[in-house]
Structure 1
Amino acid sequence: MKTMVRTLIAGAFYVAMFGHTASALDFEVVGTGGNQIPVAIIPFAKENTYTQLITPVVKADLNRSGLFKIVDFSPAQIPTDISQLPFDELNKRGVAVVAMGVVEPQANGVAAVKYRLIDVAKREQLDGIVLNQSATQLRRVAHKVSDRIYEKLTGDKGVFSTKIAYVLKQGKRFFLQVADADGYNPQSVVSSSEPIISPTWSADGGQIAYVSFEAKKPVVYVQSLSSGSRKAVANFKGSNSSPAFSADGSRLAVVLTQDGRSQIYSIPAQGGAARRLTQSIGIDTEPTFAPDGSIYFTSDRGGSPQIYRMGGEGGSASRVTFEGSYNVSPDVSPDGKNLAFIQNSGGRFKVAIMDFASKQVQVLTDTSHDESPSFAPNGKLILYATSQGGRGVLAAVSSDGRVKQKLTELSGDVREPAWGPFTGK
């Protein structure tokens, strides 16, 4: 669990913690927010003619957020228009908002999903759209519908259509997986008989940087998700680790030991000369870029691991965390207002969050071996790794600590999560 050591010698810990086969992650909501919005998702008309159903995916998405109370409502006659809704019955059931729709076949294997969101009390349409998609990709449409419902009812952008990355080990092989945000459709980006760690996304979601030990030492690679092509961009003398993309995707902050100790450098994202950004006598590691271009990182320069901030081009650094003797693994929220990190509290490693304006720190989790916090692109959830029953699992917690989710890989251990960005796809 020693993040500082992990950055330098990573491998043995992960060999011990991973195991078994790859399959979809299984979500379980273990805590919900207060004042849940009662929502009914009426089965989409004509969806039964397709293999993939829209309705159960939307229900699962909204239920998983912890912000909605899903009211089961399946009328004998499925309505296709607002005028057909039984508003009196919906009111009696306590439904505030109802989603409905119809799936219509189009030419060339395309399906048109017509969705509407209705305010029950006002009997007015809140939202509506027609989404055209290949009939084999209706799950993607369902996530888009969920995103629209979430945004309309909360004011925040939904993240159901985004992707997550994580590392899994099957037998003696490690897999870098990319999956939908709900854990479905996992795809292996790369596999190796040696450990893979520290995946990180480019801002456009088109590339992932990661560290692989396949060369019998840590080397940083950048890989295209569309073509699968990859390149070793940091393979300097010693250790190459902890990559982080700049916001424009033009460069990476990486941790190198080429000068004898762990320090932070900047390199072009496609490889090239390394420029040193930190000049300390301690271990500087785990860099991450904030929206304003500054870099937050972990360092023991003051005697114990703490989080520091410096400009994007390096220079002097200021200490950020002061509560406790061990604060590591920083991740800045997409709006730049909060910092997620791992704090050692009485020998228990937990996800904590700091509000930059007030400097207040709140511990968010009740687990004890947490690692690698990663903000969702809307800043409302934090994905992280933890340990349960002697194996690695992923979990998520809302930024206010009220909503908690557990993501179990049913046949193996998973670690190193990274939540992908909004892509507009």
Structure 2
Amino acid sequence: MKRRNFLSLCSAIAVVGLSGMASLAHAQLSIEISGAGASRIPIAVGTFEGENLLPRTISDVVRDDLERSGLFRRVETGPQPIPEATIPDFANWKGRGADALAVGAVGQSGGRFEARFRLYDVARAQGLEGQSYAFQADSYRDVAHRIADAIYAKLIGEPGIFSTRIAYVEKRGQQFSLVVADADGARAVAVLRSGEPIISPTWSPDGTKLAYVSFEAKKPIIYVRDIGSERRIVLANFKGSNSAPAWSPDGRRLAIVLTKDGLSQLYMVNADGSGVRRISNSSGIDTEPTFSPDGQYIYFTSDRGGAPQIYRMSANGGDAQRVTFEGGYNVSPRVSPDGKTLAYISRNNGRFQLMTMDLATQQTQVMTDSSKDESPSFAPNGRYILYATEAGGRGVLSVVSVDGKTRYRLSQQASDVREPSWGPLAR
């Protein structure tokens, strides 16, 4: 993955030809877990009764989801199903070291399936949660992710993110694809293929649309694409560069970057492309806008002070306040869903690394030991950050928890993946 400098973020130019728009099945990302939190909840997830009827067992997906979070430690249960309708032998599971136990069953009626699960507190010998889900056989992963979300929420006390989706750009040879996948990289689908670059995908707050920049018309143009219908609109196609779309929290507006009046500056536009209004007026380059969770402020990158730094201004425009002061190069701001943490990319001794800042205390933390990090994106529960980096000469996606203890990597063997965006919580 080629490192893009600050100026190229604002004014890339290319000659393009669109080669395909159909949604096509895509090779999924593989997962490599490299770190997990020290204090993990030991949980046993039993093989579900009847799940052998499905393409893959639900219990395997649930186990993988929980383990990948870094907050759970797997307690082996063996291959035999654990009866879902029978009270567990809590003393036995306590002796095996489990603090929690999940059991389930899958039933079939005609062409429909039903999955049931129960979650138990082993130490207290009591039930905590129970749900049932009706589904088609090819939707078993959706059910598994929802079960993992329910277990996570009950034991951790915050929303699970296993049912969410991610978007990213894949480059394979000279072909670019805008890809949507499950949060674990599975079920990857290319919603757009092009012979020229696609950059800056970002999810709408309701998870139904993606805004992105395509070079198919020999210049960067911002589009908004409906994921379900594949319908798209041109959001911005002005003279010069149109780039860096960012949705407002209510989904009604986007902040974008245009050069139609000279240097790259910030503009606001309605979600249908109407009502374009300039909101920044500086003598430098302003780019990479992102909204605060309450929609009141925009954080952005600017070189107005002589070098790229992160600033904050009202979403209605006006004076901007500098946010980053450590280091001579800080770009790509993203604010956590609770508004307390800023993620960004900083150049440290020639290495481009993911950083976080506590916005209340201004304390910063280096989150990675890599050297070519890009494009941070928070998980919708705020606990994890997805970002692009490089490994073995290829672009890969990595995830790190905000406390730095949990890490895993999503990669493809024969392509570069980059420009990630983590979608909202499933509705």
Q: Which TM-score bucket, shorter chain as reference?
A: over 0.9
Q: How does 1:271-350 map to 2 (within 5 A)?
A: 271-293=273-295, 294-350=297-353
Distance 2:323 2:164 in 1: 30
- Structure 1 position 260, deviation (Å): 1.2
Residues 423 and 68 of structure 1: CA distance in aligned 2, closer, same or farther (over 3 Å): closer
1:263 counterpart = 2:265: yes
Normalised by the length of structure 2, the TM-score is 0.94
Residues 45 and 219 of structure 1: CA distance in aligned 2, closer, same or farther (over 3 Å): same
Alignment check: 8 A CA contact 1:3 1:328 kept: no
Match of 2:51 in 1: 47
SS of residue paired to 2:397: strand
Distance 1:92 1:306 in 2: 55
SS of residue paired to 1:148: helix
Q: Which amino acid aligns with 1:59?
A: R
Alignment check: 8 A CA contact 2:214 2:223 kept: yes
1:24 counterpart = 2:28: yes
1:423 counterpart = 2:422: no
- Structure 1 position 224, deviation (Å): 0.5
Match of 2:399 in 1: 396
Give a deviation string over 1:148-167, Cα, whole Å, max 9, x none.
11111111110000000000
Distance 2:85 2:273 in 1: 56
- Structure 1 position 75, deviation (Å): 6.6
Percent identity of the aligned residues?
53
Distance 1:3 1:289 in 2: 23
Q: Which amino acid aligns with 1:202?
A: S
Which structure 1 residue ranges, 5 or more long, are not aligned?
13-20
SS of residue paired to 1:314: coil
Give a deviation string over 1:262-300, Cα, whole Å, max 9, x none.
101111211124211100011100001111211100001
Residues 263 and 75 of structure 1: CA distance in aligned 2, closer, same or farther (over 3 Å): closer
Alignment check: 8 A CA contact 1:119 1:126 kept: yes
Give a deviation string over 1:207-253, Cα, whole Å, max 9, x none.
10000011111000011011101111110000000001111211111
- Structure 1 position 409, deviation (Å): 1.4
Distance 2:259 2:426 in 1: 34
Q: Which amino acid aligns with 1:372?
A: S
- Structure 1 position 132, deviation (Å): 1.2
SS of residue paired to 1:315: coil
Match of 1:215 in 2: 217
Alignment check: 8 A CA contact 2:13 2:220 kept: no
1:33 counterpart = 2:63: no
Q: Which amino acid aligns with 1:302?
A: G
Match of 2:204 in 1: 202
Match of 2:122 in 1: 120
Alignment check: 8 A CA contact 2:246 2:289 kept: yes
- Structure 1 position 77, deviation (Å): 6.0
Q: How does 1:77-92 map to 2 (within 5 A)?
A: 78-83=82-87, 85-92=88-95
Match of 1:15 in 2: none
Q: Which amino acid aligns with 1:54?
A: I
Moved more, 216-225 or 350-359: 350-359
1:176 counterpart = 2:178: yes
Match of 2:109 in 1: 106
Match of 2:168 in 1: 166
Distance 1:312 1:75 in 2: 55
Distance 1:291 1:181 in 2: 21
Q: Which amino acid aligns with 2:301?
A: T
SS of residue paired to 2:418: strand
1:365 counterpart = 2:352: no
Alignment check: 8 A CA contact 2:48 2:81 kept: no
Distance 1:82 1:298 in 2: 58
Match of 2:8 in 1: 6
Match of 1:135 in 2: 137
Distance 1:360 1:408 in 2: 31
Match of 2:233 in 1: 231
Q: How does 1:149-160 map to 2 (within 5 A)?
A: 149-160=151-162
Distance 1:264 1:137 in 2: 41
1:356 counterpart = 2:367: no
User: Residue 254 of structure 2 is aligned with which of 226, 231, 252?
Assistant: 252
Q: Which amino acid aligns with 2:247?
A: F
Distance 1:263 1:82 in 2: 64
- Structure 1 position 82, deviation (Å): 4.1
SS of residue paired to 1:131: strand
1:71 counterpart = 2:64: no
Residues 70 and 208 of structure 1: CA distance in aligned 2, closer, same or farther (over 3 Å): same
User: Residue 97 of structure 1 is aligned with which of 96, 100, 121?
Assistant: 100
Distance 2:68 2:128 in 1: 22
SS of residue paired to 2:395: strand
Alignment check: 8 A CA contact 2:84 2:118 kept: no
Distance 1:374 1:6 in 2: 20
Which structure 2 residue ranges, 5 or more long, are not aligned?
15-24
Residues 164 and 34 of structure 1: CA distance in aligned 2, closer, same or farther (over 3 Å): same
Match of 1:240 in 2: 242
- Structure 1 position 423, deviation (Å): 3.2
SS of residue paired to 2:318: strand
- Equivalenced residue count is 414
Match of 2:21 in 1: none
Match of 1:186 in 2: 188
Alignment check: 8 A CA contact 2:82 2:104 kept: no
Distance 1:304 1:22 in 2: 40
Alignment check: 8 A CA contact 1:11 1:195 kept: no
Distance 1:119 1:56 in 2: 20
